[in-house]
Amino acid sequence: MLPVNGVWAIPGVRAIPLAGAVAFTGAWSELWSAAARYDTLCTLALAICVALGCAWLGCFMILRGQALLGDALSHTVLLGLVVAVLWTGSLGSGTLLLAALITAVVTAVMIQVVSGTSRVKEDAATGIVFTTLFALGVVLLSTLAPRLHLDAQHALYGNLEFVAVGEKLAILGMLLPMTLVQMAVVCLVLFALLCLFYRPLLVSSFDPQLARSLGLPVRWIHAGLLGAMSATVVGAFSSVGAILVVGLLIAPPATGFLLARRLPGMLAWASVSGILSSIIGFHLAYVWDVTAAGMIVVVACCLFGIAFLGAPGGGLVWKAIRRGRLRLQMSHENLVRTLLKWQVSTRAEPHNVSELAGELGCSPTTLGMLLTQLRWRGWVTNSRDGGLRLTERGVEEASRLDRAHRLWEAYLVHQVGLPLDHVHPSAEELEHLLDEALVARVDDALGHPETDPHGAEIPRLPSSPDQPRLFAMSRLRIGDSGHLVGLTPPVDLPVTSIARENAGVIAALQLDLGAGLSVVDRDIGEETWTIRLANGRTVVIPHELADQLLVELHSVPGV
């Protein structure tokens, strides 16, 4: 052993950073030295097989809400083990498998019977059944088969360290430990079953009623999963032990659950997590001279912790970052809107940062930081006399927000029917959080209103940002004048049936491209626009058609 041993007199913590690294590389080279390489590989392979089997199984178990059953089974299997040994006198793997299977069935059935026939609910029934069977196992073990004690200890707490010295089997010219061969077979069989029965498993786990109505044999699937669990637990006897198999059944699948949106992804991430836990856990256990089984489960739970904190979209860290970013965005937007309001109103540009801070309700230092950020974003510059001025970009942002706010207010008052003096806070929240498409829908639903419920004008947007005079007819106000330039979408795109109809209407109304026109009247309730053409004729255009017609105004509408 390396001289680092002396360091471990202190409870491991302090030694982690430097000595840990040294020890790790030392242990690595020991484990992977030419002499030990084969054994290490075999042991790791076994651990990985167990982890994979548990990962796949565990995914379905946590989706079906049966995590508790797995815990119970891992305890009650002791009884099966003891009875099997007493009955047959041998510890052969076939016997073990059968014993585990029978125990699993007995446990599940007993829980169902107790909770189904009395007031005792399922969680209490599970507790009663598994403690009883476990206690019975312990009693039988300590009285009738104490010679088994050592083996039982291993079965419960893990045996990874002794895999390499166990019985060996010669396969394909290699000498492999018996346990590895058995577990590999189990793993392959599980994989095959997973591929074959993927769809029924998926459906019955997510929606048992649908599965039943589709004629899927739900009971057989349940029994099959139970059987697979027994096989895995028996296999786990030689790896992490029955007690800790619960950890491998839950932690990697839970990690997969956080990192994936669909089942294949969840299975994949669970497998990766299981493999990583086995490798890292095994090496760390060797370095620190602790039980490999415990270390593997600890690493698996740590991986879950990392996923919990950092998972994109779902992890705590991600959520906190996103929330912070959102809040910052909202502060920026509130600031530009206030600046615009001040710029538009008769008040001169605010020279006094503390005045502005007072209006916004934040401290001058915070305000200073926000203004710097706004300058960086190009929304604000310093004006000639040392004050602040909104750039064109800034004005655009502010108008966009202003428009969204007023449209939401109009929507909440006119369509939803909320009282006028209450809508401001809701509109405040909505204006920040929602996108252009939704705002456009609101605008359309309201019939493109010109004023908000307070009577202030709602800013309007041109059809495209680089053509500030081009508007859909529905966006025009009374008194606007311009000429017709075309249909939206552009005419060279395939014409929909509506556009075709409208083309007919346009022809029927005898409107020509390039025709001069001016808006005479708007009927908000009926949603029509009354247009006077250059030749003196007036035409009434309905909403749908007005949305389709593109007009170029004679002058850019003022801000």
Of 46, 48, 251, 390, which lies in the binding site for other proteins, with binding defined by CB under 8 A?
251
Q: Give yes or no for a cis peptide into 489 (omega within 30° of 0).
A: yes
Of 7, 41, 91, 128, which lies in the binding site for other proteins, with binding defined by CB under 8 A?
128
Interface mask toward other proteins for 99-118; x: CB under 8 A: ---------------x--xx
Nearest to 142 by CA among 88, 84, 78, 188: 78
Shortest distance, position 445 Cβ to other proteins, whole Å: 6
Name the one range near other proteins by CB under 8 A: 3-11, 176-184, 506-514, 520-528: 3-11
Of 53, 80, 235, 247, which lies in the binding site for other proteins, with binding defined by CB under 8 A?
247
Distance (Å, rounded) from C-alpha 38 to C-alpha 20?
25
Distance (Å, rounded) from C-alpha 339 to C-alpha 321?
27
| Residue 172 DSSP class | T
CB 242 within 8 A of CB 78: yes
User: And the tokens for 238?
Assistant: 């030689």
Q: Which is nearer to other proteins, 379 or 408 (CB)?
A: 408
Distance (Å, rounded) from C-alpha 461 to C-alpha 515?
23
Shortest distance, position 324 Cβ to other proteins, whole Å: 13
336-375 binders of other proteins (CB under 8 A): none
Name the one range near other proteins by CB under 8 A: 126-134, 386-394, 480-488, 509-517: 126-134
Shortest distance, position 337 Cβ to other proteins, whole Å: 19
Of 29, 33, 112, 142, which lies in the binding site for other proteins, with binding defined by CB under 8 A?
142
Distance (Å, rounded) from C-alpha 183 to C-alpha 176?
12
Shortest distance, position 451 Cβ to other proteins, whole Å: 20
371-430 binders of other proteins (CB under 8 A): 411-412, 415-419, 422-423, 425-426, 429-430
Of 2, 188, 326, 348, which lies in the binding site for other proteins, with binding defined by CB under 8 A?
326
Shortest distance, position 528 Cβ to other proteins, whole Å: 20
Nearest to 412 by CA among 429, 436, 389: 429
Nearest to 282 by CA among 34, 38, 14, 40: 40
Q: Which is nearer to other proteins, 2 or 478 (CB)?
A: 2
119 binds other proteins (CB under 8 A): yes
Of 341, 347, 351, 441, which lies in the binding site for other proteins, with binding defined by CB under 8 A?
441
Interface mask toward other proteins for 193-232; x: CB under 8 A: ----------------------------------------
Shortest distance, position 218 Cβ to other proteins, whole Å: 20
User: And the tokens for 337?
Assistant: 């809107």
14 binds other proteins (CB under 8 A): no
Shortest distance, position 475 Cβ to other proteins, whole Å: 19
CB atoms within 10 A of CB 352: 10
Q: State whether the Cα torsion 28-31-34-37 is positive or negative.
A: negative
Helix (H, G, I), strand (E, B) or coil at 205: helix
Distance (Å, rounded) from C-alpha 232 to C-alpha 54?
7
Count of residues interacting with other proteins (CB under 8 A): 85
User: And the tokens for 85?
Assistant: 């040994």
Name the one range near other proteins by CB under 8 A: 122-130, 180-188, 339-347, 515-523: 122-130
57 binds other proteins (CB under 8 A): no
Distance (Å, rounded) from C-alpha 300 to C-alpha 270?
10
260-319 binders of other proteins (CB under 8 A): 285, 288-291, 293-298, 301, 304, 308, 314, 316, 319
Look up residue 306 and give its amino acid: I
Task: Tell me whether residue 126 is exposed, middle or buried, using C-beta atoms within 10 angstroms of its C-beta: 0 to 12, 13 to 18, 19 or more.
Answer: buried
Look up residue 266 and give its amino acid: M
| Residue 558 DSSP class | P
